[in-house]
Amino acid sequence: MNLKALLFDVDGTLADTEETHRQAFNAAFLEFGLPYAWSADEYEVLLRVSGGKERLAHFFARLPVNDHERARLAANVANLHRVKTERYAELVAGGGSPLRPGIARLLDEALAAGLKVGIASTTTSANVAALLDAELGKGAHRRFAVMACGDAVPAKKPAPDIYRLALSTLGLGPWQAVAFEDSANGLESAKAAGLFTVVTPTRWTESQDFGEADLRLSSLGDPSRPLAGEDAERAGGPFLTLAALAARQARARAAA
């Protein structure tokens, strides 16, 4: 098998964490005495901006406030994001963001087959470790051969930098790995890095354009939560197996 690694986005892909992030942002606003609270609909639009600090800066830059207040808010982005990250970790530790169907199964299958698994995400490494350790057990993040996260690269998704960093760290070419994403920005990033990409949208991203995806599914599926209909046809069964994934990627590479 030429497939050597699986690279995962985190927010929305490993777990539907976006609601947890939204709550954490709002908690940070409250702690700083700011009169803002992002609704679910508002946050869905803000998710088009990759990165938490970038999302805050984007939001503040468009507020109807005077220049002095805008500058004060912009100067507080790093502190706000630090508190938001702390609140997110607390929420995740309480079991607020369970892994999506098929994630734990496919991770175990890949590791058992000798493949490397890695992270390629715009979120912070602290957020990633908090989620993985809460859902897979303490120290679970150490099972990942690469954790390409947050500000490790100058340009965030949709730029391909984070995936190129992950591949370089692993010493692999793009034809030796598969990316898993849930957003249009993530898909663009992975495809620009040359990766076969599986997309599993969430309610936050399902309206986005995934025309370039190599495989789109509602989830990866599990024996207890099987895929059905067109999803099952595309996956080659009631859940996406490592063998089916490797075969599909090999066919795509041969046809390229």
Give tens-digit pLDDT for 125-140. 888 888 998 899 888 8
Q: What percent of the chain has pLDDT over 90?
A: 82
**Long-range contacts made by residues 186-189, C-beta under 8 angstroms, separation at least 24?**
186/9, 186/13, 186/157, 186/158, 187/212, 187/213, 188/157, 188/158, 188/212, 189/120, 189/157, 189/158, 189/159, 189/160, 189/161, 189/162, 189/163
**pLDDT at res. 53:** 93
Q: What is the pLDDT of residues 208-228, one digit of tens each?
A: 999 999 999 999 999 999 999
- Rounded to an integer, the average pLDDT of 46-70 is 94
Q: Quick one: which of 245, 236, 229 has its CA closest to 180?
A: 245
Give the DSSP H or E segment for 215: strand 215-216
Residue 18's pLDDT band, with cuts at 50, 70 and 90, is confident
**Are residues 182 and 12 in contact, defined by beta-carbon separation less than 8 angstroms?**
yes
**pLDDT at res. 39:** 97
Query: Rounded CA gap, 62 and 42, in Å?
Result: 13
**pLDDT at res. 127:** 85
Least confident piece of the model among 148-152, 194-198, 234-238, 247-251? 148-152
Q: Assess whether pLDDT exceeds 90 at residue 201.
A: yes
Tell me the catalytic residues.
9, 11
**pLDDT at res. 224:** 94
- Rounded to an integer, the average pLDDT of 37-58 is 94
**pLDDT at res. 200:** 98
Describe the crossing of helices 52-61 and 67-75 by its angle, rounded to 10 degrees: 170
Residue type, 30: L
> CA dist 191 to 91, 150, 162, 178, 212, Å?
32, 19, 12, 10, 8
Altogether, the residues listed in the chain come to a count of 256
Residue type, 44: E
Q: What is the pLDDT of residues 70-95, one digit of tens each?
A: 999 999 999 999 999 999 889 888 88
Go through the domains of the chain in sequence order and give each one's CATH number.
5-17+98-255 (3.40.50.1000), 18-93 (1.10.150.240)
Q: Assess whether pLDDT exceeds 80 at residue 1.
A: no
SS3 186: helix
Give the DSSP H or E segment for 6: strand 5-8
